[in-house]
Structure 1
Amino acid sequence: MISIILNNKKYLYFLLFLVLSYSCKKRTIISYPNQVPEKNSIKIAESRHVDIFLLNGSHLGGGIFLDNDGFILTERSILPSKFRELKISIDGKNFQKVKKFFFLKEDNLVIISSDLKVNLLPMKISDNSEISILSDIFTVTSPYGLKFSFIQGFISNTNRKGLDPLFPDIPYFQVTTLNYEGTSGSGVYSINGTFLGINRKSGVTGQENGFGLVIPAKFIMESLKKLKITNIPIENKN
């Protein structure tokens, strides 16, 4: 019986999830989303998503545009330990090299400065009031390199602070069915288009199997203040 379980990835993922659930103080609930995002919410996510690559074309993950002048937010964990340049792309066909970065290593964040000019829709920034168990959420991202994929999920735990040994002070919340290869660094949104945070590269669960952690938007906004970059006007509008 044990050998059958060890050779079946589905059983292993399920057992891993049970261990993760019982090791934390708050209970994890599994259910299914019951609300569909508004069309404008999806447009907001699509307009802000950008993919990040190594110079050789290997896909690292995603990021979101912070403003119309090409500043991009992503998480530090998706990037190599050492690099000088990367490539970014909006459509997966046209690429631009980038080599100017602002690091917030202790917060697992990085800002990429690019020359891309975009036309973003206004985006509301979450103050954590939208983060609750079973809240429906979504992302527009590129799992396994599949550009502009819509993935819907839900919040399965609101407090995972201390779960990540690399970044124990980040107050992550846990999501279900959003975390797959290539989705790390992408924006996570409520069904009304509110920016909730960005996907954390899998490292705690060990596999990008749908379960994952999100760096909250409120934490991100507080972190950005440390850079003292005043020309990143994240729009805080409905």
Structure 2
Amino acid sequence: MFLTGPGLPIKLELVPTANARSLSKVFRQINPAVVVIVTKEHGHSGLKPGETAKKGGLGSGVVVSKDGLIMTASHVVQVADAVSVHFLDGRSVSARVVGTAMQADVALLKLETVPDNLVVAELGNSDTMAIGDEVFVVGAPYGIDHTLTVGFLSGRRRPIGICNQLVPIEFLQTDAAINLGNSGGPMFSWDGKVIGIVSHILSQSGGSEGLGFAISINSAKELLLNQKSFWIGLETYLVSGPLAKALNVPQEAGLLIQRVADNSPAREMGLEPSMIPVKIGRERILIGGDIVLEVQGVRISTKIEDVCQIRDTMGGLHQGGSLEIKVLRGGKILTLSTTR
């Protein structure tokens, strides 16, 4: 940079601050532990009733163990038929979903083969973070991989709900830029420890407006590593009132199955997804699939106590446990079960 004055031009050297140099070093150390998650899933083609099409998805993630465990966001992989993990050095490895906690939007993947010299990120203690602390996020916004954005911890938020949480869930708010593709990526403290897994943003434009949220790493560790949450591989839509009557649901409400992931417990149970597109008010949904009436003996309902019980039942499922679901299919009530 040059400044001109009465004499000769003066050249000013812009020297990075110690803080910037420190972050650059930390970024180089943690960057190989950050991955890009690419998914394939099938759904309705949008052209003809019953016609399916393959679709792709994109997110971010972080390696959390030497044996190939990766944390990401549950909405990135919940109904994925196939998952591939892409590393900084260009390697690509297939992975499978081993657990999700949809109420916290966090999931755990396991690499099918563990690469040599796998770099693992250190998990921090999110309880030690204070509002105003500097944080940074690494991910793949719009597919631009290993992008670094910087901000502050702007707030600590607990979901406002009608049900008590079996496991306390906390979201960390930040003004660091977060966009489509960042979901599932790590939020780091300034010393390079993972303190959160990116979940979502609040935005009028669809892009970053300084309101990003990540599930705290303490919540993620408890749900995925300690409790070993169950992955079912299912997406549903709550039907009640006139719509439930129109679909001949023999009770107050049910869960209409929208999508089912391949190689998932839901697929193994034989659950059938909907394939006929309809528009209900401003919403577009699929009908024609199974309608869940009960989960583990708990009836689907719109009553507050029943909603909480269903949520707690699903959230309390663990790997290796059994699952029993009662569904309405073609006018008949069937009971399906699986062990995972």
* Amino acid of the structure 2 residue aligned with 1:200: S
Task: Verify: 1:227 aligned to 2:225, yes or no.
Answer: no
CA change 1:162–1:218 in 2 (3 A) is same
CA deviation digits over 1:62-101, x for unaligned, max 9? 011011222111110223x533212221148543332342
Q: Give the aligned partner of residue 61 of structure 2.
A: 63
CA deviation digits over 1:181-231, x for unaligned, max 9? 1111100111111211111133x5463414211111111122220018xxx
| Aligned partner (choices 110, 113, 121) of residue 110 of structure 2 | 113
**8 Å contact 1:134–1:154 — kept in the other structure?**
yes
Q: Give the aligned partner of residue 84 of structure 1.
A: 81
Q: Give the aligned partner of residue 138 of structure 2.
A: 140
Q: After superposition, where does 1:29-44 map in structure 2 within 5 Å? A: 35-36=19-20, 37-44=22-29
Q: Give the aligned partner of residue 104 of structure 1.
A: 101
CA change 1:41–1:170 in 2 (3 A) is same
> What are structure 2's unaligned runs of at least 5 residues?
1-17, 41-53, 230-340
* Amino acid of the structure 1 residue aligned with 2:157: R
Task: Verify: 1:48 aligned to 2:33, yes or no.
Answer: yes
**8 Å contact 2:75–2:102 — kept in the other structure?**
no
Distance in 1 (CA, whole Å) between partners of 2:158 and 2:120 is: 31
* Amino acid of the structure 2 residue aligned with 1:84: D
Distance in 2 (CA, whole Å) between partners of 1:119 and 1:82 is: 27
> What are structure 1's unaligned runs of at least 5 residues?
1-33, 229-238
**8 Å contact 1:45–1:189 — kept in the other structure?**
no
* Amino acid of the structure 2 residue aligned with 1:172: F
1:185 match: secondary structure: coil
Q: Which has the higher contact order (CA 8 A, sep 6+)?
A: 1
**8 Å contact 1:89–1:95 — kept in the other structure?**
yes
Q: 1:164 Cα shift?
A: 8.2
The alignment's TM-score, normalised by the length of structure 1, stands at 0.68
1:128 match: secondary structure: helix
- Considering only aligned residues, what root-mean-square deviation do their CA atoms show, in Å? 3.0
**8 Å contact 2:30–2:121 — kept in the other structure?**
no
CA change 1:181–1:92 in 2 (3 A) is farther
Distance in 1 (CA, whole Å) between partners of 2:175 and 2:160 is: 16
* Amino acid of the structure 2 residue aligned with 1:67: S
CA deviation digits over 1:11-66, x for unaligned, max 9? xxxxxxxxxxxxxxxxxxxxxxx943534421343121111112378442101101
* % identical equivalent positions: 17
* Amino acid of the structure 2 residue aligned with 1:214: A
**8 Å contact 2:34–2:138 — kept in the other structure?**
yes
CA change 1:59–1:87 in 2 (3 A) is same
**8 Å contact 1:35–1:191 — kept in the other structure?**
no
CA change 1:193–1:199 in 2 (3 A) is same
**8 Å contact 2:57–2:76 — kept in the other structure?**
no
CA deviation digits over 1:81-137, x for unaligned, max 9? 5332122211485433323422233332211111232432562512411x2222111
Higher strand share: 2
Larger Rg: 2
Distance in 1 (CA, whole Å) between partners of 2:173 and 2:97 is: 31
The alignment's TM-score, normalised by the length of structure 2, stands at 0.50
Moved more, 106-115 or 167-176: 167-176
Pairs aligned (count): 191
CA change 1:162–1:105 in 2 (3 A) is closer
1:140 match: secondary structure: strand
